[in-house]
Each structure stands twice: as C-alpha cells, then as structure tokens.
Amino acid sequence: MHGRAVETITTERLLFFRVRVNFSELNGEEGTESRGRESWEYLYLSYQNSSSNALEDTVNKLFNRLYNGEMSTQDLVNMMLQFSREPDVGTPPTNHQIFEHMIVNLCDELRFITRYPSNELRITAELIGQLLRFDLVSQVHKKVILETKEYTPLQICMRVILDSLKRPPYSRMFRFGVLIVEQFLDRIARWPQLCAALVSERGVGPQFKSCYPDYYDYLVELLNAIPAEYRDRPEKEERELHAARVAAFKAGKPMPPPHRDLPAASAAPEKARNASPESGSSPQQQQQQPVI
C-alpha cells in the first residue's frame, strides 16, 4: 500500500511537470494556447493508453495463472474480494479497477464458452459460481455487449446458467450450469427470480427436477418461504439498494439492511454442502455422469 501511494504521487507530479514545461516553452510564441492544449492532450492520451494497456496485461496475467494451475479458484476469488473492497483511488490501474475489469472480461468471454476444453470449462464454472456466492458480480454495472444487446455482468451470468440448463441432460454444458449453481446453492435465496426460473414448468424446471430432484425440491421449499414482495422485487430496486449500501460503507455510515435477510427454508441439500468446489462433484454426480 505504501509503495502504491508513493507511485501515485510520483506519476501525477511527473505528468503535471511535463505539462507545465510544454506551456513554458511556448510562452510568448504565436499559438501558445492551442499548441499548449495539444501538448497536454497528447500527454494525457498517452498516459491513458498506457494505463489501459497495464490494466489489460494485469488481468490477463491473473487469468493465465488460474487456467495454468498456478492459482486456485478460491485464491483468485479471495484476491478479487479484497480488491473489490479497496477504494478506486491512486495511479491506474488500481486494484478496484482490476477487479471490475476481471468481471467484465470474464463475462465478455462467455460468448465463447462452448468452445472451452473440459478443464477450462470446469474452472470457469467454479469461478462464476464463487463470484456469485460472494456477491461480487452484482457490484459491477458496466454493460457488456452480447449479440448486439447490452447486459450487466449479473444478467449475463444468469442467462448463461439458464441457457446451459436447457442443454441435453448430463451434457458438458448442462453440467457447466449445474456446477455454477452448486457453488452458491446455499445462498441462492439472494436471487428469487433465478430460483423461480430453475423450477419453472415452462422453462428448465422439468429437466432440472428429473436430473437433480433434491436441488429442485430445495428451491421449491425456498421459494415458498420467501414472501411475495421479495420474490417480485424488481432488479432496479435491488441495484439501488446495493448502491446505497456501498455508498454508506464508503462513507463510514450504517448500511441499510439487505433484502437478502429472508425467511430461510431448510438447509441446502446435503449433497450440495458436501460437493467439493475443487472437483465439482457430489454423490449424485459421481453415480450418474462424468465430471466435465
């Protein structure tokens, strides 16, 4: 932290010094104002491009470490959790910017998810599920373009889950969706709309019930325990509540109570609690299908 603070002061003063030098050199010459502005804009854009490249390089290196096996999914999630709590101040790229760009980058790459090899598919499912578990995806509101439309990272993750569960039972992509859900099944009450979609008779409900009856029954029980006003809470209201909690936290004020304090159903199915995040397996999965 101290090193970052020193770097911030040094870089900002250096940039300011260069701008002052350019104006000083042009003093008394014709076109001083316009030439000085051009010099400042050139320096600013160069600095901005350098920061953007550094951000992209840092994010790519972290993902490479994950997929190369140099870092576990849990270690990366813990790092992102820490980065998300840091203020977005200092010399770019800040840790908070790195966190946000990782979320956006991950969601942007999901358009190619069907091409992923089995091991990378498993790692990605674990990562998405853990990010949802710790409520990190919903903290980023920068839109991602998918099929010519803009979506928030949370919308993309929910869509990927439901689209995957529409695939043939026990296929690679079906298992991908299930593995994501398993990572945050005991906290899935945060998203009543997702719970409802997973048990919907007109959607993935029948297939999900046939393949994972324990999970299905748990979600039905959970929905029955959630008051209607929470089940029907609009996404906009949820975003506003989250923004208010973040603002209060940064200002050191008491945070509004989260809507997720809901009446609980029974505990998550035993096989969900016993599932290994590293292997992505449960007793039911071991009997009925191979791991991704």
Q: How confident is the model at residue 51 (pLDDT cuts 50, 70, 90)?
A: low
Is 285 a residue whose pLDDT tops 80? no
Q: Does residue 258 contact residue 190 with C-beta atoms inside 8 Å? A: no
Query: Once rounded to an integer, what is the mean pLDDT over residues 136-147?
Result: 90
Q: Does residue 50 contact residue 56 with C-beta atoms inside 8 Å? A: no
Q: How confident is the model at residue 154 (pLDDT cuts 50, 70, 90)?
A: very high
CA dihedral 162, 167, 170, 175 (to 10 degrees): -40
The predicted pLDDT at position 155 comes to: 95
Task: Using alpha carbons, select from 65, 147, 69 the residue that is nearest to residue 102.
Answer: 65
The predicted pLDDT at position 25 comes to: 44
Task: Using alpha carbons, select from 160, 170, 164, 166 the residue that is nearest to residue 205.
Answer: 166
Helix, strand, or coil (residue 47):
helix
Q: Which of 75-84, 220-229, 245-254 has the highest mean pLDDT?
A: 75-84
Give the residue with greater pLDDT, 36 vs 90. Answer: 90
Query: Once rounded to an integer, what is the mean pLDDT over residues 21-41?
Result: 48
CB 192: neighbour CB atoms within 10 A?
Answer: 23
The predicted pLDDT at position 15 comes to: 37
CATH 1.25.40.840 matches 2-20+56-226+262-288: yes
Name the DSSP class of 276. Answer: B
Find the angle CA(116)-CA(80)-CA(219) to the nearest 5 degrees: 70
The predicted pLDDT at position 251 comes to: 80
Mind listing the pLDDT tens digit for each residue in 73-119?
999 999 999 999 999 888 889 999 999 999 999 999 999 999 999 99
The predicted pLDDT at position 145 comes to: 87
Q: How far apart are CA 192 and CA 194, in angstroms?
A: 5
The predicted pLDDT at position 131 comes to: 98
Q: How far apart are CA 65 and CA 277, in angstroms?
A: 18
Burial code of 86-114, b = ≥16 C-beta within 10 A, e = fewer?
Answer: beeebbbbbbbbbbbbbbbbbbeebeebe
The predicted pLDDT at position 47 comes to: 44
Domain ranges of the chain: 2-20+56-226+262-288
Q: How far is CA 28 from CA 19, 32, 40, 239, in A?
A: 16, 7, 18, 54
